């Protein structure tokens, strides 16, 4: 690999390979290149204007975490076995969302492979991985990633992810990867040192927005398009779930998401397999799934939280926070009208997901809030609906373990800010600060791991049989 980096914020860039500094020559467009060919496995960093050595913004591997050196990865060295795989059509999707770190006791890509047969037997057609791009520490949800091209080291790194995707395809499962293009995490985020990746012209809940439409935005947009194409090409991923697209601000003539979908459409033809783009948006804006020729962004589907909120209110009676404007099943005519207008298979619905469970103070699942009968009824409403169904890990057996918010920030100031902010966030729901587990406490993470032994006893076996039966009926109904 010949190291290259876009660094308009620097006047001098050097390549650091284990303390040996090599000047990099400038190229047009404010890029710098090193006249060196680094072999796979070589560690390296960049030094800007004599400052501290920094990881490559496009690092493919961070074996020692966000503050360690980048390592050269060789995608061609992996022995894929999925040559006949052609992807998953959006209308066939039954999505099983999982968090690699809590899906199994070991919390790795490799250990997740051992549970894929369970997902197949359930009746899902694709797994959706919560973000795996390198984030601070060894545990976290992944939405504070900072090395967006590098699979997390604690999960098993690049070849670990490739092995998981290959194993999924071997079992007939597609893979959708959750990616975050609206912000980066607060710790280990060095992009601003290299160039104008961020702008203060817009504000997000996480700070400055990504610069999609200001000075230097052409290369910033290219960075994220290249990132998406890398996951789809080098890791054979079948689709991407784009986090919080309402926090992606772009006033340019062609929105970044339209540019992204056009690039993915072209890649789909090149690769000869179906690729899927799914957006999260707080209002499920229809422009996301409208054809580009009609002024839309051309994505395949969007998360539809209104369905979840209506069902949740109907069965729990909760009306605080973002449930305040929902009345329950009386919202269903409006929700089904939206399905008819947009197309049900363009809307992803659920009765549980990582947000709706994990953003409760104690991370309770629906089955811990309502009776077993009510939880089954909620599942029945979802799986009989016209929407693309999404199930959250453990939901299918009524898991008794919570899913809580956990982090592993090494910077005490960042850790304290995250913990304090979490408690303030829950004030709108009426939850007391003392009810909110500390995200930094390792026990918060450990409590959130699935207990697969539950499948050996009731009522979990019966709940699983209910979900399997419902999904089998759904398959027959839509086939």
Catalytic residue chosen out of the listed positions 97, 243, 300, 395: 243
Alpha-carbon distance of 282 to 174, in angstroms, equals: 25
Alpha-carbon distance of 336 to 184, in angstroms, equals: 35
The answer to whether the beta carbons of residues 362 and 402 sit under 8 Å apart is yes
Would residue 262 show up in a list of annotated catalytic residues for this protein? no
372-383 and 305-316 helices, crossing angle to 10°: 150
Q: What secondary structure letter does DSSP report for 78? A: S
CA distances from 119 to 132, 277, 393 (A): 19, 22, 9
The answer to whether the beta carbons of residues 191 and 57 sit under 8 Å apart is yes
Catalytic residue chosen out of the listed positions 56, 280, 395, 454: 280
Q: What is the 3-state secondary structure (H, E, C) of 318-376?
A: CCCHHHCCCCCHHHHHHHHHHHHHHCHHHEEECCCCHHHHHCCCCCCCHHHCCCHHHHH
> How many CA atoms are closer than 13 Å to the CA of 277, on its beta-carbon side?
25
Residue 372 burial (CB count, 10 A)? 13
Report which of 129, 136, 85, 81 is spatially closest to residue 107, judged by C-alpha positions: 129
Would residue 243 show up in a list of annotated catalytic residues for this protein? yes
Report which of 259, 378, 258, 260 is spatially closest to residue 316, judged by C-alpha positions: 378
CA distances from 446 to 97, 140, 263, 407, 439 (A): 19, 11, 40, 12, 11
Report which of 323, 300, 303, 301 is spatially closest to residue 311, judged by C-alpha positions: 323
Q: Which residues are catalytic?
A: 243, 280
């Amino acid at each position: 690999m010949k190291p290259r980096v876009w660094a308009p914020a620097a006047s001098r860039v050097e390549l650091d390979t284990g303390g040996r500094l090599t000047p990099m020559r400038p190229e047009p467009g404010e890029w710098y290149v090193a006249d060196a060919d680094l072999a796979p496995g070589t560690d390296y960093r960049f030094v800007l204007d004599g400052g501290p050595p920094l990881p490559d913004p496009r690092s493919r591997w961070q074996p020692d975490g966000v503050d360690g050196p980048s390592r050269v990865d060789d995608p061609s060295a992996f022995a894929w076995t999925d040559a006949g795989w052609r992807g998953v059509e959006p209308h066939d999707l039954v999505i099983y969302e999982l968090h690699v770190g809590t899906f199994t006791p070991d919390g790795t890509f490799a250990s997740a492979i051992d549970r894929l047969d369970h997902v197949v037997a359930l009746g899902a057609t694709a797994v959706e991985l919560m973000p795996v791009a390198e984030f601070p520490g060894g545990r976290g949800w992944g939405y504070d990633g900072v090395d967006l091209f590098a699979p997390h080291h604690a999960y098993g790194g690049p070849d670990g992810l490739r092995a998981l995707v290959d194993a999924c395809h071997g079992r007939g499962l597609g893979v959708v990867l959750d990616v975050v293009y609206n912000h980066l995490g607060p710790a280990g985020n060095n992009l601003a040192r290299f160039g104008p990746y961020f702008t203060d012209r817009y504000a997000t809940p996480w700070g400055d927005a990504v610069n999609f439409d200001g000075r230097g935005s052409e290369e910033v947009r290219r960075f994220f398009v290249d990132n998406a194409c890398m996951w789809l090409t080098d890791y054979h991923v079948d689709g991407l779930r784009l986090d919080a697209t309402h926090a992606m601000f772009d006033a340019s003539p062609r929105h970044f998401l339209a540019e992204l979908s056009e690039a993915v459409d072209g890649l789909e033809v090149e690769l000869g397999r179906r690729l899927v783009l799914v957006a999260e948006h707080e209002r499920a804006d229809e422009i996301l799934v409208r054809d580009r020729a009609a002024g839309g962004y051309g994505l395949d589907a969007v998360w539809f939280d209104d369905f979840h909120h209506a069902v949740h209110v109907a069965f729990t009676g909760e009306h605080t926070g973002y449930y305040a404007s929902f009345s329950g099943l009386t919202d269903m005519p409006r929700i089904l009208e939206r399905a008819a207008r947009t197309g049900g298979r363009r809307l992803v619905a659920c009765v549980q997901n990582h947000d709706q469970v994990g953003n409760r103070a104690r991370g309770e699942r629906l089955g811990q809030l309502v009776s077993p009968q009510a939880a089954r009824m909620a599942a029945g409403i979802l799986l009989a609906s016209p929407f693309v169904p999404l199930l959250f890990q453990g939901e299918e057996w009524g898991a008794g373990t919570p899913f809580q918010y956990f982090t592993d920030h090494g910077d005490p100031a960042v850790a304290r800010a995250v913990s304090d902010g979490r408690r303030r966030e829950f004030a709108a729901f009426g939850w007391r600060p003392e009810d909110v587990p500390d995200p930094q406490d390792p026990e918060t993470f450990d409590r959130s791991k699935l207990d697969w032994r539950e499948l050996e006893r009731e009522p979990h076996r019966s709940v699983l049989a209910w979900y399997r039966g419902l999904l089998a009926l759904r398959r027959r109904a839509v086939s």
